[in-house]
């Protein structure tokens, strides 16, 4: 893209008509083309059950879909309660991170959705085990309802 501010008026009008530039000048840093988006799929985490990917890599970051406490082989919840579902959701998350060539120590942000905020302490124990000394930014909220009535769903953003 050409910087709008340096164009002669006639050339600028011609480029606007051909849609090679926008009417509003953009800072030079935004005129570069976006890098490609790569999808991540691994059999070690549950397959997407809708029109989405397990994760995508864009501009050096991995964005995961929310992970439930699903056993990827059975495509059903692991037996037990919040402890077991959290542990499995984190295993699924780790599998996706590894498939993308990254790890929990490169996670910069997680979001945790809980069916019941009273399960926070039990979830937090499993989360602490999985992340060790890594301390990404995190949000945890109670959701009115999670997919397939899950007890917990966890998503992450990581450096690749």
When pLDDT is cut at 50, 70 and 90, the band that residue 16 belongs to is: low
List, for residues 29-74, the tens digit of each pLDDT value.
433 345 699 999 999 999 998 999 999 999 999 999 999 999 999 9
Residue listed under structure tokens 């501010």? 5
pTM: 0.79
Characterize the bridge pairing of strands 61-64 and 38-40: unpaired
Residue 34 CA: distances (Å) to CA of 1, 20, 29, 31, 109: 12, 16, 11, 9, 22
d(CA 121, CA 125): 6
Percentage helix, strand, coil, to 5, in the chain?
Answer: 35, 25, 40
At residue 7, does pLDDT exceed 90? no
d(CA 134, CA 15): 49
pLDDT on residue 81? 98
Helix pair angle (120-131, 82-99), 10° resolution:
30
**Residue 69 and residue 147 in contact, taking contact as beta carbons nearer than 8 Å:** no
Which conformational region is residue 75 in: left (phi greater than 0), alpha (psi within -120 to 50 degrees), or beta? left
pLDDT on residue 56? 98
Residue 156 CA: distances (Å) to CA of 22, 35, 153: 34, 20, 10
pLDDT on residue 155? 98
List, for residues 87-139, the tens digit of each pLDDT value.
999 999 999 999 999 999 999 999 999 999 999 999 999 999 999 999 999 99
């Amino acid at each position: 893209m050409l910087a709008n501010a340096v164009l002669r008026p006639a050339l600028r009008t011609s480029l606007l008509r051909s849609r090679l530039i926008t009417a509003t000048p953009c800072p030079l840093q935004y005129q570069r083309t976006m890098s490609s988006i790569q999808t991540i799929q691994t059999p070690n985490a549950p397959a997407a059950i809708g029109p989405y990917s397990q994760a995508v890599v864009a501009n050096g970051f991995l964005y995961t879909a929310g992970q439930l406490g699903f056993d990827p082989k059975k495509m059903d919840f692991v037996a037990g309660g919040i402890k077991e579902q959290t542990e499995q959701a984190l295993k699924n998350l780790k599998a996706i991170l590894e498939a993308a060539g990254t790890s929990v120590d490169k996670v910069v942000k997680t979001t945790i959705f809980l069916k019941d905020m009273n399960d926070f302490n039990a979830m937090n124990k499993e989360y602490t085990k999985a992340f060790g000394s890594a301390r990404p930014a995190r949000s945890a909220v109670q959701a009115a309802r999670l997919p397939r009535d899950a007890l917990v769903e966890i998503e992450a953003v990581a450096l690749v």
